A = this chain, B = another copy of it.
Amino acid sequence: MIGRLLLFLALLHFAVSAAAETVARIGSPGGVLSVELEIDPDGRPSYSVRRFGREVIAPSRLGFLLVDAPKLERGFRLADQSTRSFDETWEQPWGERRFVRNHYNELRARLTERSGLGRSLDLVFRLFDDGIGFRYEFPEQPNLSDVAIQDELTEFAVAPSGTAWWIPAFEWNRAEYLYNRTPVAEVGIAQTPMTVRTDDGLHIAFHEAALVDYSGMNLASVGQGRFRAALTPGTDGAKVRRPAPFPTPWRTMQIADSAGGLVMNDLILNLNEPNRLGDVSWVRPMKYVGVWWEMHLDRSTWASGPRHGATTANVRRHIDFAAENGFDGVLVEGWNVGWDGDWFGNGQDFSFTRPYPDFDLEGLAAYARARGVQLVGHHETSGFAAHYEDQMEGAFDLYERLGIRAVKTGYVADAGQAKVRGPDGLIRYVWHEGQAMNRHHVRVIEAAARRRIAVNAHEPTKDTGLRRTWPNMIAREGARGMEYSAWGNPSNPPEHEANLVFTRMLAGPMDYTPGIFSMRTRSPQGVQTTLAKQLALYVVIYSPLQMAADLLEHYEANPRPFQFIRDVPVDWSESLVLNGEVGDYVTIARKDRDGEDWYVGAVTDEEGRVLEAPLSFLTPGRRYRAQIYRDGASADYRANPADIVIEERVVTSADRLTLRLAPGGGQAIRLVALGR
């Protein structure tokens, strides 16, 4: 009887803090990071993370609440554990670098309930020297065959104090925010990636990898540096519903001494499954122009009528320009029926196969093909995913027939206002990153893959590295893009890109649509960069699809700086961060995947800076012609954004460039490998 009472008291009262016991432990291959798995006397599992022995993540909770079964959270014992080491180098079909090393130690632990239903839950930790991923796996078992997750209880207790860069979750918008920079303790509910710099200089980025058939994770502060997974709600009381067995996405922490170390980090890709599409040589990185910025400047309209942008003549002009300047694609928005009503957040009027009468789809596709250019397709759904799915197969069939190889999709609808069909067949309003929409995005990518079409999703679900598995998931938006500088108040501030590189970009490529040469727009602030910085963005913001977003006449009027956009590749064999601080500045060097040339981009925030760029990454002994596009002496994002100096010099790997960046400025350099 005493035993039962004591059990009761122990179970009832979590205030009784008895020491948790470490039941398993694993270190990373180089001994940098380690994880301990602990179980307390009530059978509650937790994990903690150390780096060189110092606590980075304090003991943090694990487990689940279920909708129709007792929670999976306590009463556990460690039933089994195993470890393994893994080391491979795999090749990306396209990407920031050609070869990726995937080197980790893995701990697999089976937790089994000591009594009651006796259910099991597996925990898998993968430790790299520069990061950690862990996930749950629900094994097949009689007492938990259909899993309905009410809440995931995973926590991340950031042990040291520090600064966080983050955007809010569950707000009006989806992901199109300026970044907050606050003490970690003042974060509210954040989207991931969220990046933290501890007071002693360690950088940690929290995110997830392989978000498939599950609900997107946000991080809710539960006070004093502790965060809880806040899964995106679903169509019913369960945030996730799946039959076992299945794994959750990986919960990830990229951990590095420097800000740049977060960027040169392949954790997210490595935790995804290998390519399942087979030969994907048909997925081609490309640069494109389009009928798009003119709409954001209100020079033409998506809707039909006298100011319609997507006319045959206008698009022919763009095809000609693309062909003459070496661009692969021409994006056309507003080409299809459905833009004439109040389409924002509605979308039921869109046809994905019927062009407006003033847009000769067939003729333009043929004209483009004849000139060696392709149209980039466009499917705006307004978030009405169910409506899109009804037409999707036919829409991709049409594009396949027309030789269109990439499609930009759009989900313009407020947060919480995407629309899917519920289990009862009725339309349900849902969050863009819930399980239903994540399933939708995979259905789209697979439908596109069957036609050898790549997808560039705007207003997407977040990037969690699925491009490794589905390499036609080529790029996406998912942040505050350049269009905010066309009409936003405020427009994107000078620090925006230096925030993106160390936050959003950790998730994967972004179609940021740089290359604006004319900085006066409908926004009161206009484009808040120098011209040289616009060029640098092609190196700094990685995307296999890069738009030259400005009006064609602005390029025609400025052929010398435009040359850099003509030259810069969109596929790389190597990428290196030469320096950088979150939200302040960054310099990145990348090597052309199809040649020996290197490209360097540097951007700063509102502060002018002098940055050192050692060229030790160049092939020793080889000479390179540096084609430098730099801020002029009077350049300033406010007063004189167009002051650019273009000059050349010859350099070797022994050289060290000094990059002078104006306030809001940048610098772009092409390093042309010369004959030996």
CB within 8 Å of B: which residues of A? 1-2, 4-9, 11-18, 65-71, 73, 115-116, 150-151, 168, 170-173, 176, 178, 180, 182-183, 185-189, 220-224, 226, 228, 233-237, 295, 298, 301-303, 305-307, 342-345, 412, 414, 416-417, 422, 426-429, 480, 484, 487-490
Contact = CB atoms under 8 A, between A and B. Distances in A.
A210 to B, nearest CB: 25
B185 A186 contact: yes
Contact of A65 (B9, B178, B224, B429): B429
Contacts of A171: 222
Nearest to A190: B223
A418 to B, nearest CB: 11
Contacts of A9: 298, 487
A668 B234 CA distance: 54
Nearest to A491: B15
A583 B183 CA distance: 25
Contact of A151 (B221, B223, B416, B422): B416
A16 B342 contact: no
B342 A115 contact: yes
B182 A224 contact: yes
Given A150-B416, A172-B14, A237-B233, A223 B489 contact: no
Nearest to A221: B188
B223 A186 contact: yes
Contacts of A489: 15-18
A237 B345 CA distance: 20
B1 A303 contact: yes
Contacts of A182: 185, 223-224
Contacts of A185: 182-183, 185-186
26 contacts: A1-B305, A2-B298, A5-B298, A5-B302, A8-B343, A11-B344, A15-B176, A16-B487, A17-B489, A65-B417, A67-B429, A68-B428, A70-B417, A71-B429, A73-B172, A150-B233, A151-B416, A170-B228, A182-B223, A183-B186, A187-B223, A188-B222, A188-B226, A234-B237, A235-B237, A236-B237
A298 B306 CA distance: 85
Given A71-B416, A416-B71, A5 B428 contact: no
Nearest to A15: B488
A237 B236 CA distance: 3
Nearest to A115: B342
Nearest to A295: B5
A221 B344 CA distance: 29
Contacts of A427: 68
A66 B170 CA distance: 14
Contact of A223 (B180, B302, B490): B180
Contacts of A221: 188-189, 221
Contacts of A172: 14, 73
Given A150-B233, A222-B188, A301-B5, A16 B429 contact: no
Contacts of A305: 1
Contacts of A422: 68
A485 B578 CA distance: 58
Contacts of A7: 342
A490 B428 contact: no
Contacts of A170: 151, 222, 228
Which residue among A13, A224, A417 has the maximum number of chain B CB atoms within 10 Å of its CB? A13
Q: Which 9 A-B pairs have the closest CB atoms?
A: A188-B223, A188-B222, A185-B186, A15-B488, A188-B221, A65-B416, A236-B237, A236-B236, A11-B344
A70 B382 CA distance: 13
Given A1-B307, A182-B223, A237-B237, 19 more contacts: A5-B298, A12-B344, A14-B172, A15-B489, A16-B487, A17-B489, A65-B417, A66-B429, A68-B428, A68-B429, A70-B429, A71-B417, A71-B429, A73-B414, A150-B416, A170-B222, A188-B221, A188-B226, A234-B237
Contacts of A186: 183, 185-186, 223-224
B429 A168 contact: no
A106 B168 CA distance: 34
Contacts of A224: 180, 182, 186, 188
Contacts of A233: 150-151, 237
A71 B188 contact: no
A14 B416 CA distance: 15
Contacts of A69: 429
Contacts of A17: 489
A463 B81 CA distance: 46
A189 to B, nearest CB: 6
A428 B71 CA distance: 11
A506 B464 CA distance: 45
Contacts of A115: 342
Contacts of A490: 15
A10 to B, nearest CB: 9
Given A222-B188, A222-B189, A412 B236 contact: no
A306 B222 contact: no
Contacts of A16: 487-489
Which residue among A305, A306, A345 has the maximum number of chain B CB atoms within 10 Å of its CB? A345
Contact of A426 (B68, B236, B429): B68
A344 B228 CA distance: 25
B189 A220 contact: yes
A4 B301 CA distance: 9
A6 B173 CA distance: 18
A538 B224 CA distance: 34
A202 B404 CA distance: 64
Nearest to A424: B68
A397 to B, nearest CB: 30
Nearest to A44: B172
B237 A487 contact: no
Contacts of A226: 188
A257 B638 CA distance: 46
Contacts of A1: 301, 303, 305-307
Nearest to A151: B416
Contacts of A223: 168, 180, 182, 186-189
